[in-house]
Structure 1
Amino acid sequence: MSPVGQGGLFLIQFLAGLVIFTLLLRFFMRATYVDWRHPIVTFIAKVTNPLCAPLNTILPKPHRWDWSAILTAMLVQALLVILIGFLTDRSFGVGLIVISSVTEVMNQLLDMMFWLIIIQVILSWVSQGYNPNTAIFDQMAQPILSPFQRLIPPMGGLDLSPIVAIIAIKLTQIVVVGSIAQLGQNMLL
């Protein structure tokens, strides 16, 4: 592939990744009951509403789980895989496209959880007291950390639950998502 083609492919992948990230952020914000009056949350909702609207007419009204955002993210990823196949003169089967879409969305969602925990931990050290700009990270990270905080109580004022949560997230990526991705790789052979 020519350098211009590689540049175009990079740009397409970047834009699709940005759309998928925004859709997953919408899903995650709704799942964690983030305050919808926050300007960032309002922006994400306005940007993603046109993308999710077609599936919202088919699926039940979203409450906590916004399945239209997840399905739209998978559709965008599937279109990206098809486009990559077209641009690189490769043909991918339906099974591989589905597996690629599922694994990429799962990986991005787990990466988002990982980074939310990291950001929340850093902000807890730096920002003392309530700050509306940083509270959104706490609102999104707390539901992830709560089960681990019940298992591992703070020791000497130190909360070790983020470390255990990060290990669980990375193990899920390696074992579960990696196994599904390996199934897709076997389809290529």
Structure 2
Amino acid sequence: MEMSSPLGQGGLFLLQFAVGLVIFALMLRFLMRATYADWNHPVVTFVAKVTNPICAPLNKALPTKGRWDWAAVITAVILQSLFVLLIGFLTNRDFGIGFIALAALSEVMNQLLDMLFWLIIIQVILSWVSPQYNPNTAIFIQMTQPVLEPFRRMLPPMGGFDLSPILAIVAIKLVQIVIVGSIATAAQSMIGMPG
């Protein structure tokens, strides 16, 4: 199946979508544990059940201690690396180990930072729309609170307005541009020419 054909491109899109969905779930698992989200919440329970089988092999070697679920991150990087390797094979590109590792790392970091960005945006919108405590949407507060706390210390609420989400969003975007962008650029410089 030629990758340039509509069928080939459709298959690649489906594969990319499936891998992206799994990595999204793994990054969500990592964030939920890192922010001490309520493990009795239905969304958290669902994500844990879906990702437990995927993380099981690495959890044996890297048991989760405290808030950092490194098995979820490493599993995401391995899956993304396999996807990059497959793309190289299908497009007849000579992707070296260095490129595969850096490309996978930058993609996973981008997913994690994008997720943080959107969680903060959703939490801000919910705080305007529904300022009272709601157990269904409390998960967004639980997951963004630890991220926003350092920024609240830097910029306490002024006149009833909490500007920490703006600082957090700027910081996230700067990390994506400067750090993740540098990793992606380093990866691009390693690409071999078509074989």
TM (norm. structure 1) is 0.98
Gaps of 5+ in 1: none
Q: Which amino acid aligns with 1:35?
A: D
- The size of the alignment, in residue pairs, is 189
- Structure 1 stretches of at least 4 aligned residues deviating more than 4 Å after TM superposition: none
Once the two structures are superposed, residues 117-174 of structure 1 have per-residue CA deviations (whole angstroms, 9 ceiling, x without a partner) of 0000000000121111100000001111000000001111111111111001000100
Kindly report the root-mean-square deviation, in angstroms, between the aligned alpha carbons of the 2 structures.
0.9
Residue number in structure 2 paired with 1:81: 84
Q: Does residue 97 of structure 2 align to residue 99 of structure 1?
A: no
Q: Which residue does the alignment assign to 2:48?
A: 45
Instruction: State which of 51, 59, 62 in structure 2 corresponds to 1:59.
Output: 62
Alignment of 1:6-25 (within 5 A): 6-25=9-28
Greater length-normalized contact order (CA 8 Å, ≥ 6 residues apart)? 2
Question: Please, which runs of 5 or more residues in structure 2 have no aligned partner?
Answer: none
2:134 is matched with 131
Aligned partner of 1:31 among 34, 37, 42 = 34
Matched to 2:5, the amino acid is S
Report the Cα distance in structure 1 between the residues aligned to 2:65 and 2:109, rounded to whole angstroms: 20
Matched, 1:171 2:144: no
Alpha-carbon shift at residue 60 of structure 1 (Å): 3.0
- The 2-side partners of 1:61 and 1:174 are apart by 30
Contact residue 94 and residue 191 of structure 2 kept, 8 A = no
Which of 180, 184, 187 is 2:183 aligned to?
180
Q: Secondary structure at the match of 2:189?
A: helix
Q: Percent identity?
A: 69
In structure 2, distance between residues paired with 1:60 and 1:54: 10
Q: Which has the higher helix share?
A: 1
